[in-house]
Structures are given as C-alpha cells and as structure tokens.
Amino acid sequence: MYREAVSIKGTKSGLVILLDSNHEFETIKHHLQHKIESANGFFCGAKVVFHAGSQQLIPQQQHELESICKQYGLVPSTSPLTPQTETLFSPPRKEKTASAPGEPALLLKQTLRSGRSVSRAGHIIVLGNVHPGAKLEAGGNIIIMGNCLGTVHAGAHGNKNAIITALHMAPQVLSIADITYLGTSARKKAHGQGKAMIRNEKIVFIWYK
C-alpha cells in the first residue's frame, strides 16, 4: 500500500512527524517543507519529534529536518515517544471477525430441468424450480425456492434430521436418509409450501397455507 513520504500527527504533547524510509531522504525533506509551508503558520510554536519507523535517522539527517522545522517556528524535541504516540506507528490490528450464524450451503440460482443431476455433501438451496426428471441430492437439508417436482434426497449420508422444504412441494420421489417416499400422495395433497422430515421412522409433511 502506498504511504506518504511525510505525515504529521497531533498528540497531547505536540506533533509527531512520520517519515517513510522507503522514500529518498531528499524527497522526505521536500515533502516536509511543503506540508509545513502549506499549514500557513498553523504549526508555529508546536513541539515536534520525528519517527522513521524501524529506521534511525543519522545525526546529519536529523539536523537537516530540524532546521526546516525551525524555519517555520516549530520546536524540535528530543523527548522519546510515549506509549500513546507509539501506537500511531503500530500496524492496525486485525479485528476478529465473528463467525456468521448458519452453515455453508450450495446456492443454485437456476432451474433444474429434466436430466440435470446435482449432488452436494452439505446443504443445497435452489432459487428456482426442480422439474420432473431432475435429481437433487444433499448430505444436509434441501431448500427449494420454487416448485419441487423432481427427485430429491436430503440427508443422503444417513442424516435423519435433514429436512426438505419447497414453495410448492409435489416431488416424484422424496428421500431423507434411508427412507424413501413416492410422491404420488404428496402431489395429491400439495397446495403450497411444504416441509418434509422424518418422524417415528416415517417421512411426514407439514403444509403451510
């Protein structure tokens, strides 16, 4: 990331002039003079210390920078940096990002047409329809934001807690874990959004009117 050759920070005890040692010293001098001059006397009378990161200024460089500051009424200080001002130069701490609630899932922004087959070890979310002749298999849950008209299998690796939901539930074949339900009855009952799950070793449907 690009850094300015010179930047000036205000603290309770005065000014800290940050010097980026990746720039040539002549460039640093030019930028320092330009910044102080552009302040139109605003810094006059302020105490200043220089900080060049891990690099130490040699006495000659320190003297030249102090001379520039004195020309504009700044007062060079030999006081060491305080812990408070040291934090100005520390790299920003990376904030710990809290894990978002929920679990990863495969998101399909499409309609699955006849002949299409999709398999996933985790959850699957479909933003579309699953047509007759299409097959969907997930190790976790299946959520279909459209019509469920094909073959769907949730909890494919034995997860009997898996569920299948759809805005219109009318599958050809519906399976959860090792239990399979032929969709004929479900298609007759279907009248909107439905959820399928296992209860007492049977697949049951909950319908939402």
> What pTM, to 2 d.p., does this model score?
0.52
pLDDT at residue number 100: 56
What value does the mean pLDDT of the chain take?
82
Banded pLDDT at 89 (limits 50, 70, 90): very low
Give the whole-angstrom CA distance, residue 93 versus residue 3. Answer: 18
47 pLDDT band, cuts 50/70/90, is confident
All domains of the chain, ordered by start, with CATH?
6-86 (3.30.750.50), 105-208 (2.160.20.70)
Q: Are 165 and 184 in contact (CB under 8 A)?
A: no
What is the tens place of the pLDDT at every residue in 117-138?
999 999 999 999 999 999 999 9
Angstrom distance (rounded) from CA 17 to CA 201: 73
Q: Is 6 a residue whose pLDDT tops 60? A: yes
